[in-house]
Chain A
């Protein structure tokens, strides 16, 4: 059973550029989550999907952020017109309600906006 996979692991971008992160959840996990983590803080919820439906978005998710999960499998998180405040680790996680809905995280995608 492979874990949650995220790509890229590290991204350095100039302010104003767009970036996209990809997440492949654990096989058969129908829930997929995005969290953001800054240094010295715990993960903060951004959004989550059940299958292909995006069921909730945090107020942290500004209009520059968009997440998709078109076929209910992998997901992408796009940040448009990046700002320095977007620098963080973006964590993807997945779960399966039929197994107690324990949430498993990937290794994260580090974003640095310069």
Chain B
């Protein structure tokens, strides 16, 4: 079955600097890769997603890149702000199914003042 590995597990960056979180997946048939942000005591909130027919997608300070050959995808946050502090999860579809996604274990991002 699909396996999603995420690293680092914890990341601290100075406010204003960039943060990068990387994920790898095992199923070459996976075609959908969402990223979620989770704040303490809340449910995961979708922040950006990418499908396999696209190599990069950007939304303001957030961008995601996908390398299908290497089976890895990354989240890039530029000009980090204190409100970016949270746990971030990558996920990948189970093969080419659109009804099930498998999550990584998460990255706790700390934005330092």
Contacts and interface: CB of A to CB of B under 8 A. Distances in A.
Contacts of B4: 42
A41 interface: yes
A34 interface: no
B61 to A, nearest CB: 20
B interface secondary structure, majority:
strand
B100 A48 contact: yes
Nearest to A42: B103
Size category of the binding interface on chain A: 20 to 34
Contact of B46 (A6, A40, A104): A104
B68 interface: no
A40 B105 contact: yes
Nearest first, the 5 closest Cβ-Cβ pairs linking A and B are: A42-B103, A105-B43, A101-B98, A107-B43, A108-B43
